[in-house]
Chain A
Amino acid sequence: MTAFAEAFHELQSGWRPRMTLSVAAFAVAALAPLVVGEARTADLANGLYLACAAVGLAFAIGVAGLPSLAQGAFVAVGAVVAAHLLAWGAPTAVAAVAGGVAGGLSAALVGAAFAGLPPAGFAAATWIVSWLFAFGLQSIAWFLGGSRGLVVAGGPSAAQHYELALALTALAALAYLALARSPIGLRLAAAREREPAALALNVPVHSLRVLAIAASGVVAGVAGALSVQLAGVGDATQFGPFLSFRLFVVVLLGGALAPLGAPAGMLVLGVLSVAADFVGRLENVAASRAHTLLTAIMLLGVVSLGWEGVLRAPARRRWAAGGAAPGRSPAATLDARGLRKSFGDVTAAEDVALTIEPGRITALVGPNGSGKTTVLRMIGGAVAPDTGTIEVPHGSVARTLQATSVFPTLTPLEHVLVASAGRRSRAGLVRSLLATPQARAEEARYVAHARTLLDRFGIPPDVPAGELPVTDQRALMIAAAYATGASVLLVDEPTAGASHAEAARVVGLLRSLRDEGLALLVVEHNLGVVRRLADRVLVLDAGRVIADGPADRVAADERVREAYLGRSAL
């Protein structure tokens, strides 16, 4: 009961007039079967099922940045499974669940195969998948009875389907909102905005994308399963690539970043379809052709005008904070031996050995092209060494990128939450969806910790990171890396382009982290910074370590002077 009371209180405190309008709209919509006939109710129910599938797609596109053109195929998978189960006499609920599972599994497979592609590649691959599914349905009569269809008798009435579809669409929109604001949604958003930066913070980008596309597939599968029962027949012609295309347009039209964007898009397309029917009748164009034409025009309009859709993203979440700070991983030492990496004929690193110890800052310096970033990437796990070993406890390394790489639309607070999500034990899919008391309590602790951290780093927590000064963005990258809980931080050129005062701020931050017991490896060009910062300096030349020791000793090394420091001195 406490959990419900807590949730109710949270809902009450965050209530907005827009929410009242949404609830009122749903209440009015629920009365539709009372005023329209059965045929129109069935049409509306079918539209709502498609809107439900579109909400799933909106999550994949808007939050995860996966422009899937296969959502219609996942709807079809749900429909096929449900049609067979219903034909064997299974209850509606069983068929719906099975359809959802089948839709989710097929989507997960597609995600696993293609989620690593860039957005255009993913769109192309899923479009091909959509065609393959359509060919399969049309050619193999077993799936949906071929051109005759697979008859599905019985089940709820059109009005019951309508209410069910309305409830499911509302639930899907709420699930979208819950997931988008959860650690899963934040990390997906981060990966969507800057994948390399997300990877540097140990965000499991591929796994999360597969999860996102699978979740959208589950919604599509349930929608397909119920819509096939509503139709009374499994009909392969209803699940062609045009369905995927239509759902895609609906999402873009309504707004991919808004949970209710897809239903809004469906509404707009529905109204325009009625107009198209009217014009089609005047021009003697068949309705089906008029709809295809209309949908294509809508897509062109949305794409060419750069329109964000009818509905915009909801207001930022107000994060509740409180509770004890989460603990950090124990101090760890990173020990690398015999690292070698070649790119074709070019050897970027040869027999590199280094140890990064807790409570010490190790600087890695060298002329341009000496292999510093390659060594950093090998240690960070971004590239695998050809030979050599790296010994460090799993998940205890995080790094910042050479270029300033924040997630522009996320706030610094959200950055830190993205980074710290990997440490949380109650931020999985189910807990995120249900917002269990334990999950909320854990979240509050991490939010409190994030605010403290940002305060310590002097970064305003609630503005979009893209609007921060560059030095704040640099500091934010370090803060985010720290927030991962890693005990070994790899920092790539933290003062690049910084003024003397800004560099001093970064130096101070890195020293404070060292003093906390973290092990730091800093790649830096500003030799003055290195001298002030580093406890130990490694010098690379042509991929090899040519000097290793305290800054003063290295500065005096003749080989270093010859290879790298000929024009100046440390």
Chain B
Amino acid sequence: MGRVLLVLAVLLALAGCGGKSSPSQRTPLTIVVDGPFSRSPYLGRTIENGARLAAREVNANGIRLGSKTYELRVRTLDTALSPARAVANMRRAVEQEAIAVVDEGTGIDASWRIAAKPGIPIGVVFEGGRQIVDPEARPNVFRIAPTDHGLAFRLAEYLIPKGLKVGLLHDDSDYGVAGGQALASAFERNRSSVAIEQTLPADALDLAPQVLRARRAHATGLVVWGRASTIASVLTAARSAGWDVPVFTPPAGADPFVRQQLADHPQWVDGLTFAGGRLTAEIGTGPFLTFEQKYESSFGVDRVGVKTSGGQAVIVPPETAMYAYDFVNLVAAALLKAGSTDPAKVTAALNEVTTEGANGDQRGFNHNNHEGVVDDDIYFARFHDMTYTPVKDDPLSATLPAVPQTR
């Protein structure tokens, strides 16, 4: 009996020595993904997948700090688009001693304080509201996503020279209200370009009266800032009334929901133009396509659920997943830089690290700027036959290659 115990003890000691550490010996570090899984499942899932992909890659070798090796573990919490739930989730993240939170953005105005106490960094990867990021007041809040301010000013810059009289429509969702404010600010000095401003009820099934009002105001273009359902409803109301007005949107216009809603009338989607963060870098499509390939091999293809006129299935490029992926990679780099798993030190280190993003761009923050996507990276793309390509009448967009969206 004594001999058996001795052998077991030797074996255990040997297992603990040298060589590459096996995952079971690693200390887990929790990354919490706080997203609207029940209310906007596609968005929640794509953020989660981006974070998981990055964690998986980081875990291939682990994060070695001193004598210990760490691995990232992703946990999800559902905000249901409720600020109160977001605050409760942040408390949970703190309780789980999360090293970072990847957040869609709902309720950040209230929840950031809770994470700020232990110094947990929050990476916002969808909401673009201007007030969300403030390096001085909210030192633990970072963003890798186009800002509403940037999108609105790029839209103004793009539309005003065209001589359009635009109707600025936004819904009363969090996303829509923030966008409406950004649009009002962007068009402030060119009020003559604005035919009408209207707030639309989010989730309304019929927006015909509001669209008719915009038409009667002699709008020659519509900028619609709101949830995907709002954009689909505006397109339905305008096109079913025979009004072929050009429609411009923030990134929500590329949400699969818009195309799914209008699948019976693909021609109504044609011409829809949206502004978004560019998917490809100056060096070309290579990095993004590599990322997309990794994403698809891990989680499968995100299908829109519609087909082109040629019968090819349309897929969604993993744009928001790319931002979550980049933020988790930055957190991993910050852990190494800080040499510590103290969230406050990781937050401080996030101001000093850069990584190569999924699209080949350099991603990083500094003490004065917590925005990971600069306004100059915002481009425009236009739908045709259920897929989109960068527009040719904008200097930046014209240089960008199209990303394949069919399989």
Contacts and interface: CB of A to CB of B under 8 A. Distances in A.
Contacts of A237: 80-84
A43 interface: yes
Interface in B111-150: 111, 113-114, 129
B8 interface: no
B95 interface: yes
Nearest to A138: B172
B107 interface: yes
A147 B173 contact: yes
B189 to A, nearest CB: 26
Contact of B83 (A39, A138, A149): A149
A147 B86 CA distance: 12
Contacts of B356: none
Contacts of B129: 148
Nearest to B110: A233
Contact of A153 (B80, B113, B202): B113
Contact of A40 (B95, B110, B174, B202): B95
B131 to A, nearest CB: 9
B38 A231 contact: no
A43 B87 CA distance: 11
Q: Most chain-B Cβ atoms within 10 A of its Cβ — which of A39, A139, A158, A237?
A: A39
Given A147-B81, A147-B172, A237-B81, A289 B38 contact: yes
Nearest to B173: A147
Contacts of B178: 148
Interface in A292-345: none
A152 to B, nearest CB: 8
Contacts of A141: 172, 177
Contacts of A152: 110
Contacts of B86: 233
B33 to A, nearest CB: 15
A145 B88 CA distance: 18
B38 A288 contact: yes
Given A40-B95, A141-B172, A286 B88 contact: no
Contacts of B88: 39, 42-43, 231
Given A286-B80, A288-B80, A148 B38 contact: no
Contacts of A288: 38, 78, 80
Interface string B84-102: 1111100110110000000
B379 interface: no
A460 interface: no
A139 B173 CA distance: 10
B37 interface: yes
B310 to A, nearest CB: 34
Interface in A224-270: 231-233, 235, 237-238
Contact of A148 (B94, B109, B202): B109
Contacts of B177: 141, 146-148
B91 A158 contact: yes
Contact of A235 (B84, B92, B201, B202): B84
Contacts of A147: 81, 83, 172-175, 177, 202
B7 to A, nearest CB: 41
Interface residues of B, number: 31
Nearest to B174: A147
A146 B129 CA distance: 14
A139 B87 contact: no
A38 interface: yes
Q: Which of A138, A147, A233 has the most CB of B within 10 A?
A: A147
A151 B114 CA distance: 12
Contacts of B173: 147
Nearest to A149: B83
A287 B84 contact: no
A151 B138 CA distance: 14
A149 B107 CA distance: 7
Given A43-B88, A147-B177, A147-B202, A38 B110 contact: no
Interface in A150-173: 151-153, 158
A238 B172 contact: no
A376 B82 CA distance: 60
B91 A149 contact: no
Contacts of A287: 38, 78
B91 A38 contact: yes
A39 B92 contact: yes
A224 to B, nearest CB: 12
Contacts of B113: 153, 232
Contact of B95 (A37, A149, A153, A238): A37
Quick one: which of B78, B84, B88, B109 has the most chain A CB within 10 A? B84
B111 A232 contact: yes
Contacts of A289: 38
Contacts of B95: 37-40
Nearest to B129: A148
A223 to B, nearest CB: 15
A233 B79 CA distance: 14
A346 to B, nearest CB: 52
Nearest to A153: B113
A146 B174 contact: yes
Contacts of B114: 232
Given A39-B88, A39-B92, A146-B174, A139 B201 contact: yes
A286 B109 contact: no
Given A146-B172, A233-B107, A42 B91 contact: yes
A458 B30 CA distance: 77
B91 A39 contact: yes
Contacts of A146: 172, 174, 177
Interface string B165-188: 000000011110110000000000
A300 to B, nearest CB: 23
Contacts of A148: 83, 109, 129, 174, 177-178
Given A151-B109, A232-B113, A286 B202 contact: no
Contacts of A232: 84, 87, 110-111, 113-114
A182 B173 CA distance: 48
A153 B174 CA distance: 19
B120 to A, nearest CB: 13
A235 B91 contact: no
A231 B91 CA distance: 10
A479 B83 CA distance: 60
A40 B38 CA distance: 21
A-B interface, 7 closest residue pairs, ranked by CB to CB distance from nearest: A286-B38, A149-B83, A233-B110, A235-B84, A39-B91, A147-B174, A37-B95
Interface of B: 37-38, 78, 80-88, 91-92, 94-95, 107, 109-111, 113-114, 129, 172-175, 177-178, 201-202
21 contacts: A37-B95, A38-B94, A39-B92, A42-B88, A43-B88, A139-B201, A145-B83, A147-B81, A147-B83, A147-B174, A148-B129, A148-B177, A149-B83, A149-B109, A232-B84, A232-B110, A233-B87, A235-B85, A237-B83, A286-B37, A286-B78
Given A141-B172, A145-B83, A237-B80, 9 more contacts: A39-B88, A139-B201, A148-B174, A231-B84, A233-B109, A233-B110, A286-B38, A286-B80, A288-B80
